[in-house]
Amino acid sequence: MQATVSRYDGETFSGTVLTDTGIELPFTVHAIADTPVLHLRVGQRVRIETAGSGAATTVTKVEFGTRL
């Protein structure tokens, strides 16, 4: 799923993304662990993977690029 970084803290490596469907989801350092992501900036487009549904949706991975 595609999203836009809406908040990012470079010290904790956590923040929030806004999905293309208008849902804001928080992410933690665990979502960028084991990815090439070293830094994010507000407004940056990212690809995310999620788990769960509804209010229990969590971001499990944040990375760059798009899947073909």
Measuring CA to CA, how many Å separate 3 from each of 10, 18, 41? 18, 5, 13
Question: pLDDT by residue (tens digit) across 22-64?
Answer: 999 999 999 999 888 888 999 999 999 999 998 889 999 999 8
Query: Is there a contact between 32 and 26 (Cβ–Cβ < 8 Å)?
Result: no
Structural domains of the chain ordered from first start: 2-63 (2.40.50.140)
Average pLDDT, stretch 6-25?
A: 95
The answer on pLDDT for 18 being more than 60 is: yes
Contacts of 38 (CB under 8 A, 6+ apart): none
**Residue 67 confidence (pLDDT) above 60:** no
> What's the whole-model pTM score?
0.86
The residues, ordered by sequence, that sit 6+ positions from 1 with a Cβ below 8 Å of its Cβ are: 19, 20, 47, 48, 49, 50
